[in-house]
Chain A
């Protein structure tokens, strides 16, 4: 069914033909709170005649009501959309604005300036090709200017416009402008931008925004809009190696099997050889399918469906690449990570790592250092808090396909997701794979767990006791071990306090150390099950994430979580080691249940209510569970 389009005057069609050739520039604005970012965008929209009468009328009404800017229209009000922002007068989230000129269409990401909104700035920078960095002429280069430039550069923004704003307030003085430009260049030299274009402007009054300012005859460069319209857009992605992350396998019928995705970089033509990144299998492109017909070639940015000459097993998360220029396939790599969530990043904790098309479990194996975003100094750190940036080693449960972020912004990035809340907690830019991932391969041994456990006549298991200090974990575990021993089973009991005297003596009780404590014990327990043993682990293990991480090291049915459920009041009453008394007196910090949280298991295999019950009864309950398995 088609709507008929009667022939009409040529002018609209001509206009549209011109529009058709327009390119797209995504840019961001940054600068500290009073530098006038929102005013600048509002002014660009206004001067490009992109404000409608009803929007202007609403703006004038609101200016009267809210503004500190008497008389003139306050363009910032147009941009600061959310109620809270209008109340606080600051921009707390990224806003996207659209405008177009006869040459280009623009998507502007307006990012907040405060240090506590670094994460929003990172979000804006992730899709921007250019950054307009605003500087207040009266203040010059500030900490924020440096921080914003650094973050933009870290996120791969290669072009900067240094907009020296409020030049009217310093009498359009060329010397002020020149000093600021020199200061900026001096520090930006090390930041790694391809181009820096300084422009003196007054966003409020429109000088050098869309037309040349009569107030600054000494300035011979382009206006801001002129520059944005003509700056060459990054062709890097188009010229880079071909990368095609597979989003989805399309199989509408038995005769068709195509791999749907968006070309991340480079281009591909029918007949070209391709390799499947994860398996290394080779084939050739048979067809490039789209709704609008088959194509001979597909280029960076296009969403297409590729059909191969051979029937290969390829699923979402894999990548089609040129055989002679492959990406990295590894399960360990180094990356710059920015933390986005109020709950701090903990090395050792298990997160979901999401690339454009792949999703795997991942842990940060080490935080090498944190980067001070104001001085770029590297500082030792144990965790990353919200808005902090660090360099980390990561380990994934299965290999992923990637390039270095500096080579490819699309295939070199990832986000980290909390396993329980599903919140997006971190974002990463991959630097390089770790050598050990490339060279340390799993050694296949002839005598394996199955052989060892057959010799022992038992099924290896982990009995993981969790609960408050003083809940009776160790006492029950001890009794269970005696029962198993009497049956002739080979066992080992890993007790929290005992392990802290040796293997984990370097660890304290902070959240980071508790995570590492559990990770080590889980790995030791795993080695012992490999040896064919039944392992009893008696650890407070207060966090769900770590118990889950431990569980995932083992096969189905191997990990038995036992919740020793004794109310905290009862534990404190028993207080076998006198610890509650001290904790309540404030003498012990980070004490579980008093000054540090305990997350109750949601679905433990065995849930022991201990109050009023004998230890032997409780131990027999566990023994019965094992017998029934």
Chain B
């Protein structure tokens, strides 16, 4: 009996979770509420069975997430009995940083990147799991599974630790840390297949429903609450849409779709002609924008 590719990916991720639990003093899992986080959470539950994951889960809340994400987050944490920490950048909140007046770059930097650094410093975590996959984006294709960060949480792409076999270098000095990516070798299709196979709950926003959207710069943006300012020529329409990735609602474009089940989603994916990050407005700024953000400490 030899393992299928999904079984191999699952076993690899479980191995990574256990390595971190065995070698770090204070790990945390970054929980972004998206589908990749749902898969990671599921794998973490498997890795330590019959025990619970021996680390807390951290959600960096930009205060601009879809409302349904927050509901799902709180319900999941309660049902699984996991330790959920929520961090908001209070300075940013006081300065009323938002994606509309400050633009996606400033908003993401202050409410996500800086907020994450604040939270990591506050709790003194020395390892943080993230759900990034190498198939998502060019600079991620070269990132290690155990990815070193200096005391300022910065990534140096030209000076990464060599990573051979699965003999990981898990050593860090004071204030340094490691970002760990158990889903490095998964593709978007692997994620969906696994969700389907394992029956993993995900935020309903991934499924098509009639939602209020406006068309802006060729993207469909959902009007999730009254904070969204509308231009004079924009009108809110109810359209049958869903999301391929989830983030801050003003920065995450919906796609028109009638996929209401997981099978529909997979079918749609198999015929998709654009990559999933296409709907992420923060990537479009410049070719290497993700690499820049990661160097600054973004996940």
Instruction: Find the B residue at minimum CB distance from A99.
Output: B187
A356 to B163, CA, bound (A): 12
Contact of B79 among A1, A3, A21, A81 (CB under 8 A): A1
A82-B142, A96-B184, A302-B3 given as contacts; is B264 within 8 A of A415 (CB)? no
| Contact residue among B5, B76, B201, B263 (Cβ-Cβ distance under 8 Å from A2) | B201
Residues 191 to 236 of chain A near chain B (Cβ within 8 Å): 233, 235
The verdict on A93 contacting chain B, using a C-beta distance below 8 Å, is: yes
Which residue of chain B has its CB nearest to the CB of A238? Answer: B2
Docked-complex contact B166 and A93, CB < 8 angstroms:
no
Determine whether the beta carbon of B139 is less than 8 Å from that of A81: yes
A393 within 8 A of B: no
The answer to whether A94 touches B142 (Cβ under 8 A) is: yes
Contact (Cβ within 8 A) B51 A252: yes
Taking CB atoms and an 8 Å cut-off, the chain A residues in 6-53 that contact chain B are 6, 8-9, 11-13, 15-16, 19-24, 52-53
- CB pair B6–A289 under 8 Å, yes or no, is no
Chain A residues within an 8 Å CB radius of B228: none
B96 on the interface (CB 8 Å rule)? no
Q: Does B161 contact A (CB under 8 A)?
A: yes
**B162 pairs with A340, CB closer than 8 A:** yes
Most central of B164, B170, B262, B266 by chain A CB within 10 Å = B164
Quick check: A127 and B141 within 8 Å, CB to CB?
A: no
A415 and B5 in contact (CB under 8 A), knowing A12-B267, A53-B273, A252-B51? no
List, in ascending order, chain A residues with CB within 8 A of B134's CB. Answer: 96-98
Task: Determine if A371 is an interface residue (Cβ-Cβ < 8 Å).
Answer: no
Q: A1-B201, A12-B263, A303-B15 are in contact. Are A52 and B167 (CB under 8 A)?
A: no
- Residues of the B chain whose Cβ atoms lie less than 8 Å from the Cβ of A354: 167-170
Nearest-neighbour CB distance to chain B for A562, whole angstroms, equals 26
- Are A248 and B263 touching (Cβ within 8 A)? no
Flag if B199 contacts A3 (CB, 8 Å): yes
Partner of B196, one of A5, A24, A127, A299: A5
A301 B7 Cβ-Cβ under 8 A: yes
Contact B18 A356 (CB under 8 A): no
A6 to B196, CA, bound (A): 12
Q: Are A23 and B4 in contact (CB under 8 A)?
A: yes
Q: Which of A375-383, A421-429, A467-475 contacts B (4 or more CB under 8 A)?
A: A421-429
CA distance A520 to B6 in the complex (A): 53
Interface residues of B in 75-126 (CB under 8 A from A): 75-76, 79
B266 touches which of A12, A248, A415 (Cβ 8 Å)? A12
Minimal beta-carbon separation of A125 from chain B (angstroms):
9
In the assembled complex, the Cα of A256 lies from the Cα of B51 at a distance in Å of 9
Contact of A424 among B169, B200, B287 (CB under 8 A): B169
Do B167 and A415 touch (CB < 8 A)? yes
Is the CB of A95 closer than 8 A to any CB of chain B? yes
* Residues 247-290 of A contacting B (Cβ, < 8 Å): 247-248, 250-252, 256, 258, 260-262, 289-290
| Partner-A contacts on B (CB < 8 A) | 1-12, 14-15, 18-19, 21-22, 45-52, 75-76, 79, 134-135, 138-139, 141-142, 157-158, 160-173, 176, 184-185, 187, 189-190, 193, 196-197, 199-202, 260-264, 266-267, 270, 272-275, 278, 287-288, 291
9 contacts between A and B (CB under 8 A): A8-B261, A81-B142, A84-B158, A93-B157, A123-B162, A233-B2, A291-B46, A413-B164, A422-B171
- Interface residues in chain A, defined as those with a beta carbon under 8 Å from any beta carbon in chain B: 1-3, 5-6, 8-9, 11-13, 15-16, 19-24, 52-55, 58, 62, 78, 81-84, 92-98, 100, 104-105, 107, 119-120, 122-123, 126-127, 233, 235, 238, 247-248, 250-252, 256, 258, 260-262, 289-292, 299-303, 305, 316, 340, 352, 354-357, 409-410, 413-415, 417, 422-424, 427
Given A247-B18, A303-B10, 11 extra CB contacts under 8 A: A8-B261, A12-B264, A20-B197, A23-B2, A24-B8, A96-B184, A291-B49, A300-B3, A301-B3, A354-B168, A356-B167
